[in-house]
Structures are given as C-alpha cells and as structure tokens.
C-alpha cells in the first residue's frame, strides 16, 4: 500500500510539476518573444545609427577632399602666377592659362603679349613659392582661397634679386572635374 501511495504521490507531483513546467514554458515563450523583439529593435536601431554615422563620415571625407583639391589648385595657380623666366615666358604663361577660366583667363590672355615683351626686355626671372593658403569658403562648384606667397625677382634693374610678397584672393570654379581659377585679386 505504501508503494501505491508513494506511486500516487509521485504521480501527483509529476503532474503538478508538469503543469508548472507548462506555465513556465508559456511565460518563457512570452518573455522569449519580448526578448527577441527587443533584440530585433536594438539591432535595427544600431544599423540605423551605423548608417547615419557612416553617411556623416562619408560627407566629411568628401568635404575634406574637396578642400584639399581646392587648396592644391590655388597653390599651383599662385606658384605659376609668381614664377616666370624671360627665356620660357610663353610656356610659363601657358601654365597659368591651363589653370585659368572666366575673367582671369580673359584678362591674362589679353596681357600675355605685352607681358612677354616686358619680361623679355627686362630679362626678368621670378621664382614664386606659397607660404600659406587657406580656404575661405568652398562648395561643390566654387571656392575662395587666400594665398600668401613670395617670389625672388631678378631683372636688369635688380640683378641680385629682391623678394616680393603677395597676398592673393583666388576664386575658383569646378569645370570638367578640375578646379580652375576664375579671378585673382591682390589684397592687403
């Protein structure tokens, strides 16, 4: 009889444990769904934030690359503009014109013949260098750069040479995938 009673008690305990396990499974299923939903939401939020920050980083990289391209073009224009040699002035002026467009190109082209004669007569030699350059503003199509440059100028009047300082404001525009100088002003 004790065996039956134990058997009955074991059976009852097993039955009760089974009911508790079923309730626990249902609770865990609800909790499991909630946890899964929370993980999916967290993953979606993480992906969204990653995409947003990735896009921001890409935009910053593009802007920095544009600034570097603008500075490089402005520096080259300033060096070309302040460097010349009376024996190679036609080639030197072509170098300036290759990086020019718009008003600056028209003005420089109009003066090239007169300047060639003047440079040749005076046996002028000038070697320019950029000391500093900074972008004032830049967007996808245009930019303004301030350049501080100097050059050592030698000619028949100053055979030992003298240093000249330049402060230039260059306006550049994007044309055909290149930054070209559209205007040059001397500033103080």
> pLDDT tens per residue, the chain (188 residues)?
454 445 454 555 556 656 655 665 565 566 777 888 888 888 888 888 888 888 888 888 888 999 999 999 999 999 999 999 999 999 999 999 999 999 999 999 999 999 999 999 999 999 999 999 999 999 999 999 999 999 999 999 999 999 999 999 999 999 999 999 999 999 98
d(CA 186, CA 188): 7
What pLDDT is attached to residue 56?
Answer: 85
Helix axes 89-98 and 102-121, enclosed angle (nearest 10): 170
Bridge partners of 168, per DSSP, are 147, 186
The Cα-based distances of 79 to 14, 24, 136, 137 in angstroms read 93, 80, 19, 21
What pLDDT is attached to residue 4?
Answer: 47
3-state secondary structure of 5: helix
Contact in structure between 98 and 178 (CB atoms under 8 Å):
no
Instruction: Please list the alpha-helical segments (H only) found in 83-170.
Output: 89-98, 102-121
Q: For 128, how many CA atoms within 13 A lie in the half-sphere containing its CB?
A: 23
What pLDDT is attached to residue 45?
Answer: 87
Domains and their CATH numbers in the chain: 69-186 (3.10.450.230)
Task: Tell whether pTM > 0.75.
Answer: no
């Amino acid at each position: 009889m004790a065996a039956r009673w134990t058997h009955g008690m074991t059976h009852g305990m097993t039955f009760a444990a089974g009911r508790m396990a079923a309730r626990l499974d249902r609770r865990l299923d609800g909790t499991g769904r909630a946890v899964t939903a929370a993980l999916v939401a967290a993953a979606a939020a993480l992906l969204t934030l990653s995409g947003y920050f990735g896009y921001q980083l890409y935009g910053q990289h593009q802007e920095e690359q544009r600034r570097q391209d603008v500075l490089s073009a402005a520096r080259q224009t300033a060096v070309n503009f302040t460097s010349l040699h009376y024996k190679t002035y036609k080639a030197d002026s072509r170098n300036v014109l290759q990086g020019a467009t718009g008003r600056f190109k028209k003005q420089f082209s109009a003066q090239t013949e007169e300047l060639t004669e003047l440079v040749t007569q005076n046996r002028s030699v000038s070697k320019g260098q950029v000391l500093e350059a900074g972008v004032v503003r830049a967007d996808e199509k245009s930019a303004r750069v301030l350049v501080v440059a100097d050059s050592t100028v030698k000619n028949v009047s100053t055979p030992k040479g003298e240093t000249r300082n330049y402060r230039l404001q260059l306006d550049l525009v994007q044309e055909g995938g290149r930054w070209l100088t559209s205007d040059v002003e001397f500033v103080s």
